[in-house]
Structure 1
């Protein structure tokens, strides 16, 4: 289980006790920062279960815009980029679960994390700063501020200052 190092006053936990599988959530859209976050999760969190989540805004869900953006899977819509997600996972000899939820991105991510027993969120950041960040906000920042589990934000590009 573990042992106490009397000389340093430190209790050390053996690998077996700390090797519990955790559930990671990687919120994704079809962007480079999101792909960077997934790659980070796949390469760093080797033994953990990963769920890739795509949150579809209510307005986006009701808009018939680009027909190629999603494909029907039962009653749900699965984004085409999920095929690339599975390919990336396979490159690491991993598999991932996928889910699509309807809702405002930050709120949907947090609700899924809470209800899905998620232990950590790993997500990309657009790298916005200055006025564009003030006007547009940041989903990653909103998730990080309101999450009850640790959030790793993977930078995803140049700032636009």
Structure 2
């Protein structure tokens, strides 16, 4: 049913919960899990920063990505599944949708932050944009209330 399952990660608990769900599904269906971390390059700090500052911010993002992917690898140790890890730069939802198409991903499993109301309308949702653009099934693993901040979200 599934050959390639993508789990985008931001290094947070919700992403790890989604990764565990992806590993479980991959083990059931004999699929490979693809873990993807996107170093955001559309943030205002990266846009307005000059050379050295931009490079330092990018390096911090890449280090965070390596740590997030290592955490997914560690979560996958409990499962008998293949894992491919990838670090990319760009706008998260665009990179995720591009990866789905390029790697012929069958299913995306991703955490959501549980934003509601004005915050969601103002900030949008990476998961929502992936659902709209991926062209494959997207399983969202919802946020548990009371995790990291009031309303249960940690931010996109």
| TM-score, reference length from structure 2 | 0.77
Quick check: which one's strand share is greater? 1
Shift of 1:146: 1.5
Q: Which residue among 62, 87, 98 is the counterpart of 2:74? A: 87
- Residues 134-149 of structure 1 aligned to structure 2 (within 5 Å): 134-149=121-136
Answer whether contact 2:11 2:71 (CA < 8 A) is retained: no
Quick check: which one's helix share is greater? 2
Runs of 4+ in 1 over 6 A off after TM superposition: none
Unaligned runs of 5+ in 2: 47-53
- Residues 65-80 of structure 1 aligned to structure 2 (within 5 Å): 65=57, 70-71=62-63, 79-80=66-67
How far apart, CA to CA, are the structure 1 residues paired with 2:36 and 2:136?
A: 16
* Deviation by residue 1:64-115 (Cα, 9 ceiling, x = unmatched): 14966544xxxxx952222221111112233411001111000100001101
The CA RMSD measured in Å over matched residues stands at: 2.4
How far apart, CA to CA, are the structure 2 residues paired with 1:80 and 1:136?
A: 25
Answer whether contact 2:16 2:71 (CA < 8 A) is retained: no
Shift of 1:160: 2.0
How far apart, CA to CA, are the structure 1 residues paired with 2:97 and 2:42?
A: 19
Residue in 1 that maps onto 2:111: 124
Answer whether contact 1:23 1:48 (CA < 8 A) is retained: yes
